[in-house]
Structure 1
Amino acid sequence: MILFGILKSTLVASTSPWRLLARNYKVTVVGAGGGIGQPLSLLIRQNAGIRELALHDINEIKGIATDLSHISMPGRVTSFVGESELEAAVSGANVVVVAAGKPRLPGMEREQLMAANGVVAAKVASAVSVACPGTLLAFITNPINMIVPTAAEILKANGVFDPRRLFGITTLDVVRAKKFIGTAMGKDPRHVDITVIGGHAGTTILPLISTCKPKYVDEDKQIEKMVHRIQEAGTEVVEAKAGSGSATLSMAFAGAQFVDALLRGIRGHEGVVECAFVASELTEAPFFASNVELGQYGVKRYLDMPQLSEMEMEALAKLLPILRKSAEEGIEFARKYLKELEETVPTALPKAQ
């Protein structure tokens, strides 16, 4: 009877989809003490497949880690503070998600945001290059259109760049599109399927309304208004918060959804498709947001572009030069950072004769 019970439990474990949760993974959240980082960490903590949730921030976050560690879920929560502990925080991580940096404030240009957050991306990419070059590195930190090319250039300089493993999280654009369109049609947003391509700022965000399922039918002017609202949804939140910050809770929701998708891909789940800003050959822009299938090593397959309407084709043609320019600026930022870093590192003294 005991033997039968053992055999039965073994068979159930080998056939159940939940058996994959028995695998243990480490996820690191950089910027875990911030407005996005805290709710993001809370949502990620609910994933039963994580053996360690590592939290990093420039400020002390021991209390946050202790608080999260009391949640009745498997795995442990660790905390790391400051630049000196960044490599330790990401070491051995299967996924590193970066929410660190300054939020966009009213009237702030993307270039100003890049000046503040570009160094964050460069430092994280440098730490990953040393401590966990095989990790899946995903950025929430804005401006994504420049941050991802910056990180890619740092990884290239360190000889560890793998285009399959670097992501800009644009899931929030999809989440917003599903919500706004679902509400307009009186449908459950969870049952709305829409592709959002391009980038992650203003007019570079291109929701493909023509591909929406169920079909979204309206006059061209109303469709244009819907596209505009999706593109400017971030500004809508910034203005509503009256200078106190940008989108945090919705971004945490979207970020956790993307991290979960990465983990499902690592675990071997089939058909895990998400939109992400990645190194791409789909268009003339070197980095482009599109649907990708996720697998054990990150991007498993780049999905073909769906058929676009005439209006969408025109919008795509306009956004591509913007994405190319952003990529060039991000790469230049990384090169300047590396040059300045090289100049500040003291030259080793010659050995005594």
Structure 2
Amino acid sequence: MPDGAERLARAALARVTDPGDETVGRWLGEYGPCAVVAALSRDGPRLPGVSEQRWAGLRLRAAESRPAADLDRVRELGGRFVCPGDPEWPRQLDDLGPARPFGLWVRGTPSLRYWALRSVAVVGARACTDYGAHVASLLGAGLAERGWTVVSGAAFGVDGAAHRGALAVCGPTVGVLACGVDVAYPPRHRELIGRLGERGLVVAELPPGDHPTRSRFVLRNRVIAALTRGTVVIEAALRSGSLGTARHALRLGRHTMGVPGPVTSGLSAGVHELLRGEATVVTEAAEVIELVGDMGELAPARRGPTVARDLLSGETARVLEALPAREAAHVPQLARRAGTAPAVVLAHLHELRALGFVERAGDGWQLTRSSDRHSIG
């Protein structure tokens, strides 16, 4: 477990550089967070891998950072700063290598590590259709009901619908923000983000008070992908940021899934392109769990409805098939068509009459007018 000095140093670095900075990540691996912060704080030689201009910018940020105040702020919110090495740290984030978060600011009572063990990312278009919102809500609820944590970005559209679906069944859900955990973004999701902090978890790489930028949304997606066992994309245009989350998942060896939409919809074009590659088609929670779950967590087999003729024996079905559609036939004629003895045909005809398929027509037999050969009963 990191000591107080390392925690303070990691909190400082969250202010000094943007998320996913691989150069700083390599410094952490080689020198450790305390040494990196010390190097940025004194007038000495710069660490390798950056220009003088970049080094000067990092030093300016380091001089302005107030990590103790940030840690106090997150505690005021009832939250915490979770670092690599903490018992609550989700170790699957280590798969990001040098791009691993320096730490995560967390609001909410449950253990992030525990919830992330069985988690699925559900992402998609912000300007989604009613179809996309409906599917995301059903998928979020279905996953949460089965004990799976729904992870998304708390944005408009698919993200919000997935979170609400999980919350509706009192299930686990995590919102990964591209801003501080005390910043409601988008502002119209203030209530939703508040509910996530009270009944679920709100997570961010950026320290309290920080606001989102376009690049921070892109960088946030790698955390969503790494934190979960798989990513489901519901409605995404060809240039959608949700596809970036899916690509991160693919690179990390996570399951990547997509929900198909109308082939005429531009909002599903990105999903369909993804499905032409390495992604898997899913349509419900059970199919997602079959991919990301443990051995034996299989989706139920799908089959069409049973019709009455499915229940007939092979020989009886052949006699039924031998009957003409709109006229009567005699037993010898039916015997030739069915390839069996007349006595056997007659026995099967009586069986079919009892089931309502056929009736007598003088000396012959015909299909009943009320008989539906393709439905049951």
TM exceeding 0.5: no
Q: Which has the higher contact order (CA 8 A, sep 6+)?
A: 1
Q: State the TM-score, normalized to the length of structure 1.
A: 0.30
* Structure number with bigger Rg: 2
